[in-house]
């Protein structure tokens, strides 16, 4: 399959660009693409200042304070843009459950604002980074992301030249507030970790690998596809034991806590209702729309169907202990050095938010 769309010389807007995913997208684009300009669009003033200092690339990086809820501001930021990577979202499940209207405005209405401003400004390609929570959603975060997926896919039917594709992934190591950095912080600062159900399974992938595949999806996508990376999974029991043994001392312990509202025992990246439309690529799966146009049919005519009934973390290929421990070490999560500005005092005072 050809590389398709080229980002060389293009102006690229990244919504939520000062977050974990946004920084990795920026790093890879700057390293691998002769991009004309990368526009970092986000609400976080301090995170933008940190990012500006870290990257030191005033020629190619432009920082814009803005919210995807603000359609006029987003439209102004989108003018002259060739491609968009849409990352901005409220994503922490308990917070979204307690603030559903706020999440709807950002995750769903904000996504529709991206769709409409992209079409109005003649953007060529738009990539939406979705979540496993959007598959058979159990919580409001998943509902808001599923709705956003559908809005993006529908954008391909509007008759504009803008092409929209979706990249749906599970846990990416290092994503803010996700389980691995939380376990690391708890063990380093508190010498314990809090665990819901050790039998829970989760997909895991290094941040650099997930973003590399997402950029591949942006390049090869025709429009209206959902790309899912091939990911391995592990139980929380295995993950917690590896981290406890590497980061805790003889007094370290695992404290059991209740499952959070809306939390699943296993992650699901492709549902049984999508299987008939799923095709296998070398490093990803691709879910086609219900009625794929001829261009899509031709692009994936050599891609074979899948044999499984759904793609879940309890049925997917599992990490061996050695594989998972090696990946955690390589990514810096078995180190006592926390890659976070939070101090031990701050962490102890706010420990509940890390559960």
Chain segment 235-254, per-residue pLDDT in tens: 999 999 999 999 999 899 99
Residues 302-319 have a mean pLDDT of: 94
On whether residue 151 sits in a domain, the answer given is yes
Beta bridge partners of 227: 167, 286
N- to C-terminal Cα separation, the chain: 43
On whether residue 4 sits in a domain, the answer given is no
- Count how many domains the chain has: 1
> From CA 312, how far away is CA 203, in angstroms rounded?
8
Looking at the predicted structure, is the pLDDT value of residue 4 above 90?
A: no
Which tens digit of pLDDT belongs to each residue from 265-287?
999 999 999 999 999 999 999 99
On whether residue 50 sits in a domain, the answer given is yes
Looking at the predicted structure, is the pLDDT value of residue 203 above 80?
A: yes
User: Predicted confidence band at 3 (pLDDT cuts at 50, 70, 90)?
Assistant: low
143, 4, 145, 157: which is closest to 83 by C-alpha? 4
On whether residue 1 sits in a domain, the answer given is no
On whether residue 188 sits in a domain, the answer given is yes
CB 327 within 8 A of CB 204: yes
User: Predicted confidence band at 339 (pLDDT cuts at 50, 70, 90)?
Assistant: low
Q: Which helix (H) or strand (E) holds 349?
A: helix 344-349
**Which CATH number does the domain housing residue 67 bear?**
3.40.50.720
Q: Residues with catalytic annotation?
A: 133
On whether residue 324 sits in a domain, the answer given is yes
- Segments forming the whole domain that contains residue 136: 11-354
């Amino acid at each position: 399959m050809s590389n398709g769309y080229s980002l060389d010389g293009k102006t690229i807007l990244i919504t939520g660009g000062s977050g974990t995913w946004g920084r990795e997208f920026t790093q890879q684009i700057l390293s691998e693409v002769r991009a004309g300009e990368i526009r970092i669009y986000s609400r976080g003033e301090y995170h933008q200042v940190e990012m500006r200092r870290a990257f030191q690339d005033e020629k190619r990086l432009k920082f814009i304070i803005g919210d995807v809820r603000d359609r006029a501001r987003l439209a102004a930021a989108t003018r002259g843009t060739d491609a968009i990577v849409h990352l901005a979202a409220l994503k922490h499940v308990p917070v979204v459950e307690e603030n559903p209207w706020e999440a709807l405005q950002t995750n769903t209405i904000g996504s529709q604002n991206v769709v409409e401003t992209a079409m109005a400004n003649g953007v060529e390609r738009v990539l939406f980074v979705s979540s496993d929570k959007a598959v058979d959603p159990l919580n409001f975060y998943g509902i808001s992301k599923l709705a956003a997926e559908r809005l993006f896919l529908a954008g391909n039917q509007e008759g504009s030249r803008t092409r929209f594709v979706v990249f749906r992934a599970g846990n990416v190591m290092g994503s803010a507030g996700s389980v691995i950095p939380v376990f690391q912080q708890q063990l380093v600062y508190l010498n314990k970790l809090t665990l819901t159900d050790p039998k829970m399974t989760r997909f895991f992938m290094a941040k650099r690998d997930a973003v590399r595949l997402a950029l591949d999806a942006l390049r090869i996508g025709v429009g209206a596809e959902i790309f899912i990376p091939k990911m391995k999974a592990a139980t929380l029991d295995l993950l917690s034991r590896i981290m406890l043994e590497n980061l805790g001392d003889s007094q370290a312990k695992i404290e059991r806590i209740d499952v959070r509202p809306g939390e699943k025992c296993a992650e699901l990246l492709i549902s049984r209702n999508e299987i008939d439309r799923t095709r296998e690529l070398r490093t990803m799966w691709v879910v086609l729309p219900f009625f794929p146009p001829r261009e899509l049919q031709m692009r994936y005519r050599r891609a074979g169907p899948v044999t499984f009934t759904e793609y879940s973390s309890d049925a997917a290929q599992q990490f061996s202990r050695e594989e998972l421990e090696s990946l955690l070490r390589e990514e810096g999560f078995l180190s006592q050095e926390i890659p976070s500005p939070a101090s031990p005092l701050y962490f102890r005072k706010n420990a509940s938010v890390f559960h």
